[in-house]
Structure 1
Amino acid sequence: MRLRLAVAIGLAALAASGGTAQTYDDRPAKAVSPNYGFNYDRRVVDIPMRDGTKLHTVILTPKGASNAPILLTRTPYNAEALTTNRKSGDLGTALYGYDNATDVIVDGGYIRVIQDIRGKYGSGGTFVMNRALVGTAENPTKVDDATDCYDTIDWLVKNLKASNGKVGILGISYDGYEPLAALVNPHPALKVSVPMNPMVDGWMGDDWFHNGAFRQMGMDYIWEQEATRDNSLPWVSSSDDIYDFYMRAGSAGELGKRMGLEQIGFWKSILAHPAYDRFWQDRAMDAYLGKLPLKVPVMLVHSLWDQEDSYGALATYRALEPKDVNNDMVYLSMGPWHHGQEIEDADTLGQMRWGQDTGTWWRKNVLAPFLAHYLKGTPMDVAPVTAFESGTNEWRRFQSWPNEAGEGERLYLKPGAALGFDAAASGEETADYVSDPAHPVLFRNRPIQAVGYDNNNPWPNWLADDQRAVSSRPDVLTFTSEVLTQPLKISGRPMVKLTASTSGTDSDWVVKLIDVWPDQVPGRPGFGGYQFAVGMDIFRGRYRQSFSEPKALTPNAPLQYSFALPAANHVFLPGHRIMVQVQSSWFPLYDRNPQTFVPNIFFAKPADYVKATQRVLVAGPNESYIALPVVK
């Protein structure tokens, strides 16, 4: 009886509501967000491209704006999420997350536009990672990121009545690639481009490879970007410590197979193109732009400790700067930051302290006046190059950045683990170690977390980690100078000139240039002796003669390997020492070289991974050295 009464009461209530059990819902079909008291208007538009594809675009216009410039960012990281208000009617609360220099945008009164790129989140079309440009062998269509930039800007200046018809484009990382794409065939309304930490050449030294060595810790990014339109299918590791995760798989190719990556188009391309062939060359934006006329002022922004894209900004600068005949079109900013840290408070980098908030200083004194000059016509006092000088921890102004073409001063690796500017007096001599793929040298201490940007993840700062963690390993050579009595300043790219042999038929070479702090540092107990890496990088030996045609190494034959370390603007202070470390693995950041030449390391088998004896020449006519760009 009670049950029947309860059912009757429920049905009566449902009938009173006007619905049925199958269709009634307390929620509206589509809620409309109120904007009472907001100081900006939010508009969402799907902008049509020349092929009919529509790109999802969020437009934030300050209330009362008139004759305002437009700042555009194109992103694969969800335009809606980057412009969703956080319980406040202020424009600043609608601009958060990756790629927003909020203080500059809000204070400057800009119309802010953020757009999902083709094939991501709300935008139509297909997604291709680092899509090749129209006219290259890899893109037979008539659309690319450059045409999408052009069509978007064209729509904006024709439809945003509150604008002054001037557009700037800026972004970080993948979003930093888009301001470069906009320069290919720039729209007349595009007045300035700001690529920050841009992805430029994924094989030479940005996200996917460094000098041929594969950065396998980016595999989760490939999965999450391409598995779904909205990044809703996560990559799930079976280990908290990803050292175990990668070691148990063996090769990166085997791990990709286990994790389902062979469904993903870009992963298939990586497997098919391990060398620097046409696939990668067609995507090298620095080389492409170097062939085009310079029409739009550009500010390239580089982080001196960029753990993801350490190559692109300066490679593009080297390609564009020679075209800037009046020294007023190509600008460069270099800060003591990790990837994207320029839009944050940035008074530290890991354990390093700069004594100032370098991010806020740069945005206020460089980015804001630069944008205002080209988008509003206000005067500016921004040098062609603004670079932070670590060591002295001061900002410096330059008319240009060194072209880095010279030999520099030779810092010799010497017998007895010594390091100095005078060559060794003895005959030919080597420093030896055994490299064992079963026990690779780590890029940071275990447990090693996956790539992440939450507050507790060490990934953003690992390039500033203390290198003492590996300096005493028997498979790491460590060379140290005498204590400096005078400051030594370098500006440019240190060049590695390593002469070495291996008992195997392939080998990786990792070289680190390190500033060793005094044994005791006043006010910082425990910091004495800190080994701070000024620059580090890796080179895969099979590409010694050609990046596009790998060749086996001749066992036990001394061969020269020449490659650049990331750019530095640093002063080694009196009381400090200079150190160079050499090793043959950097795991699990990079996949292990089996040290046996195989056609494709992605498919290396367990039996291919062998120990190898490595010998580095430290005396004689072919003595190894680092060519330092010393500034007198």
Structure 2
Amino acid sequence: MIQIYRVLNKVALWPAVVLVMLLAQPPVYADANENYDVKAHYDKAEYSIPMRDGKKMFTAVYRPKDRSKDYPILLFRTPYSIKAYGDDFPPVMRMAPSVDFLKSGYIIVLQDLRGTYKSEGDFKVIRSIRDNKDDPVAIDASTDNYDTIEWLLHNIEGNNGKVGQWGISYPGWTTVMGMVDAHPALVASSPQASPSDMFVGDDWHHNGAFRLMYSFSWMNFAARKRDDLTTELAKPFDYGTPWGYEFFLNAGPTSELNEKYFGGAIPAWNDFIDHPNYDKFWKDQVALPHMKNINHSILNVAGWFDAEDFYGPISIYNEIEKTTPGNKSTLVVGPWRHGGWLTMDGSYLGDIQFGSKTSEYYQKNIVFPFFEYNLKGKGDWNPAEAIVFETGNNEWHRFDQWPPKASKVKNLYFQEGGKLSFNKPADKSKKAFDKYVNDPAKPVPFSTEIITAPGHDWMIEDQRQVSTRPDVLTYRTDVLEEDITIAGPILASLFVSTTGTDADYFVKLIDVYPGDAPDVEIEHQKVKMGDYQMLVGVEVMRAKYRESMSDPKPLKPGKVTPISFNIWDKFHTFKKGHRIMVQVHSSWFPAYDRNPQQFMDIYRATEKDFKTAEHDIYRSVQFPSHLELPVLTGNQDVTASAAQ
């Protein structure tokens, strides 16, 4: 594990890894409810709550001034600071999932995580669940959650004996940890965009491929010293250019960045270098083995276009379904970026409009009723197994299982001439393949934006310019004669050969609009949607991990090799008159680091190790590269509601 760091009210080096997982916390979208006067309705008190090992957690408690009734406790634990100390109150939307909670009346509890800001103890990045559960003073995030609840129940007057918890990103992970060996009074948890596995699919890596730009930008932010941890950060890193592509292309290999730009002062960066494979260091952090006997009510929230933590919520939901029969877990997925259900109104993302304020719908019709019912017994929650937004048709649906029963796998095959078809390839030739050359010196850009940090819109961004590159293979169907709806996980199944011994393979699923699609207006700017290529889903596989993340194996040059990986779940309708497109390429820079296309420890690669390689993607009878699409063949949702 990454070693611990003490963080109190003194100059400190903030542990960089944790902040990479945190919600960036841009300004919350404004509406009339932001004018709600919390101080007029709530009293505040601060406590140092003792844990079983004697360390004390700094906690702010906000109680309704109306003492005529008892209220449930709503707990939020974060390493990112509770944002308000002393007489200060945080913004409304930092206290609860929506302002409706404050109007209805809850005892709001905000806590600095162990070893951060004003809480005592040592901070560990993704502290693993303790092995020695019989030790009465052994601690982890689960025990801290339990001990906090126990103290609150006995020391905060006016509580009704019921507790709920919630959080987004890292606070979502603390929520997940609170679900493990949960306190009996914890009756409702809403983990939102929680990571579950930082090597397989969340934040730092996807299938072993390192997310360079994201990691670097947050390391810069995270490594700044503070005289007082409640103050603003020091001056941000100067890239010397607004164009991140240019900066990272000239920065040199990943192995040199810590010394070159951080002066070797970021231990977390060295942990990446020292643990290039899926070893015990990464496995100890995985949440999934602990998702057993989760019997209280769960509202698991994700965004279809979350660049950081989509794998986490889906995998956590699936694990609970697998290990706990009769569980009370509901999956919610909307058309959002990371945390967008709190920070945006959800009516659009990038250039794509969704026909309604989906975040408001979620806040008023999903998350608020969930807690009201479970913590107060109010309303009729009557949850579906999955409450999911269908992009393309822009509708909310409620299913009694996810994926829906009516989803059936149909293979979409790569064909000659850049075509896609549900018919199997007919070409029996050994040369039935398409070739491209990937040059690490000229990698495929991940976005057309001129930015130094990845942002969020790239997960739904127009792919028209990328499709013109010779190092990007593009396949598309004929114009669709009817709607095609997919609902569930997508599997990419490639047959490849290369001149190198390692490679990255990115596969993108794209919705191509008709040439005469009408323009749209986004933030007072017209966007030309004719032939727009909307990114629906994307994933990467670092080929050396194709058989095992822990035991990488080289590719054999010239040998046809099967490579399969999950693009994860989507719920999208490709409309009549549109086309379905698939793109394949071997770099997506600098969102992901460059692969030298040689079997080696990539983190320690020097510039001379990066080699150009040819890649063949096969589309023959013997080697039929394709996508397995979960096509919805009927409408078996409990209810379907058009965008309001």
TM-score (ref. length: structure 2): 0.86
- What does residue 354 of structure 1 align with? 354
Change (3 A) 1:214 1:37: closer
- Counterpart CA distance in 2 for 1:83 and 1:359 is 32
1:140 shift after superposition: 14
Contact preservation (8 Å) 2:491, 2:568: no
Partner of 2:514: 518
In the TM superposition, residue 135 of structure 1 has moved relative to its aligned partner by 1.1
Q: Is 1:120 the counterpart of 2:119 in the alignment?
A: no
Task: Give the corresponding residue for 2:460.
Answer: 464
| C-alpha contact 1:73 1:114 (8 A) present in aligned 2 | yes
Counting only pairs closer than 5 Å after superposition, residues 306-317 of structure 1 correspond to structure 2 as 306-317=306-317
1:432 to 412, 432, 435: 435
- 1:9 alignment counterpart: none
The aligned residue for residue 153 of structure 1 is 149
Q: Answer yes or no: is the 8 Å Cα contact 1:286–1:312 preserved in 2.
A: no
Gaps spanning 5+ residues in structure 2: where? 1-36, 521-526, 634-644
Q: How far off its partner does 1:54 sit?
A: 1.4
Query: Does the CA contact (< 8 Å) of 2:309 and 2:338 recur in 1?
Result: yes
1:141 Cα deviation (Å)?
Answer: 8.5
Shift of 1:415: 1.0
Residues 236-257 of structure 1: per-residue CA shift (max 9 Å, x gap): 1323222222222222221122
Q: Which amino acid aligns with 1:330?
A: S
Tell me which of 476, 495, 501 is aligned to 2:497.
Answer: 501
Pick closer, same or farther for the CA change 1:593–1:523 going to 2, 3 Å.
closer
Residue number among 567, 587, 590 corresponding to 1:588 in the alignment: 590
1:211–1:237 distance in 2 versus 1, CA, 3 Å: farther
Code of the residue aligned with 1:337 in structure 2: it is: W
Q: What amino acid does structure 2 have at the position aligned with 1:438?
A: A
The alignment status of 1:626 with 2:627, answered yes or no, reads: yes
Identity of aligned residues (%): 38
Structure 2 residue matching 1:106: 3-state secondary structure: helix
Structure 2 distance, partners of 1:325, 1:252, is 45
**Offset, 1:324:** 4.7
Aligned to 1:220: 217
Once the 2 structures are TM-superposed, how far is the Cα of residue 407 of structure 1 from its aligned partner? Answer: 8.2
Shift of 1:36: 12
TM-score by length of 1: 0.87
* C-alpha deviation, 1:476, in angstroms: 0.2
Q: Secondary structure at the match of 2:63?
A: strand
What's the CA shift string for 1:329-365, capped at 9, x where partnerless?
1111010100101123111111111110000101111
Asked if the contact 1:404/1:492 (under 8 Å) is kept, the reply is: no
- Give the whole-Å Cα distance in 2 for the aligned partners of 1:420 and 1:356: 33
Aligned to 2:258, what secondary structure does the other structure show?
A: helix
Report the Cα distance in structure 2 between the residues aligned to 1:84 and 1:308, rounded to whole angstroms: 34
Cα drift, residue 490 of structure 1: 0.7
> Which of these residues, 286, 290, 294, is aligned with residue 284 of structure 1?
286
Q: Distance in 1 between matches of 2:275 and 2:39?
A: 54
Whether contact under 8 Å (2:115, 2:121) holds in the other structure is yes
| Residues 444-459 of structure 1 aligned to structure 2 (within 5 Å) | 444-451=447-454, 459=455
* Residue 102 (structure 2) aligned to one of 99, 106, 120: 106
Per chain length, whose mean CA-contact separation is higher, i.e. which structure has more relative contact order (CA < 8 Å, sep 6+)?
2
1:442 to 442, 445, 452: 445
1:165 correspondence with 2:161 = yes
Counterpart of 2:329?
330
Alignment of 1:176-215 (within 5 A): 176-215=172-211
C-alpha distance in structure 1 between counterparts of 2:47 and 2:261, whole Å: 37
Identify the range of structure 1 (232-241 vs 507-516) with the bigger mean alpha-carbon deviation.
232-241
- Secondary structure of the 1:263 match is coil
1:186-222 Cα distance to aligned partner (Å, 9 max, x none) = 1111111100011111111111100000011223324
Per the alignment, residue 16 of structure 2 pairs with none
8 Å CA contact retained: 1:463, 1:533:
yes
Work out which of the residue numbers 240, 247, 253 in structure 2 matches 1:245: 247
Deviates more, 1:484-493 or 1:72-81: 72-81
Task: Give the distance between the partners of 1:209 and 1:225, measured in 2 at CA.
Answer: 18
Query: What is the aligned length?
Result: 579
Match of 2:602 in 1: 601
Are residue 490 (structure 1) and residue 486 (structure 2) matched? yes
Give the Cα–Cα distance (whole angstroms) in 2 for the partners of residues 324 and 370 of structure 1. Answer: 20
Q: What are the Cα deviations for residues 92-133 of structure 1, in whole angstroms up to 9, with x where unaligned?
A: x74345x74232321331111111111211112222211122
Aligned 8 A contact 2:53 2:137 in 1: no
Equivalent residue, structure 2, for 1:372: 372
How far off is 1:526 after superposition?
A: 1.5
More moved, 54-63 vs 358-367: 54-63
Q: Deviations over 1:50-71 (max 9, x none)?
A: 1121111111112114310111
Instruction: Tell me if structure 2 keeps the 8 A contact 1:440–1:586.
Output: yes
Quickly say closer, same or farther: Cα 1:132–1:37, change in 2 above 3 A: closer
Q: Hey, what's the Cα distance between the residues in 2 that align with 1:253 and 1:83?
A: 43
- 1:8 maps to none
Name 1:54's counterpart in structure 2: 56
> Matched residues in 1 for 2:446 and 2:38: separation?
51
Query: Larger radius of gyration, structure 1 or 2?
Result: 1
Shift in Å at residue 38 of structure 1?
2.5
Stretch moving more, 225-234 or 67-76: 225-234
Q: CA deviation at 1:603?
A: 0.7
Q: Which amino acid aligns with 1:583?
A: H
Using the TM superposition, name which of 510-519 and 47-56 deviates more: 47-56
The 1:106–1:403 alpha-carbon spacing in structure 2 relative to 1, beyond 3 Å, is same
| Equivalent in the alignment of 1:299 | 299
Asked whether the equivalents of residues 44 and 60 of structure 2 are also in contact (C-alpha less than 8 Å), the reply is: yes
Q: Which runs of 5+ in 1 are unaligned?
A: 1-34, 87-92, 452-458
Give, in whole Å, the separation in 1 of the partners of 2:360 and 2:120.
37
Q: Is the 8 A contact 1:418 1:481 kept in 2?
A: yes
Contact map agreement 1:500 1:617 (CA 8 A) in 2: yes
Aligned to 2:542: 540
| Equivalent residue, structure 1, for 2:275 | 273
Aligned pair in 2 of structure 1 residues 474, 140: CA closer, same or farther (>3 Å)?
A: farther
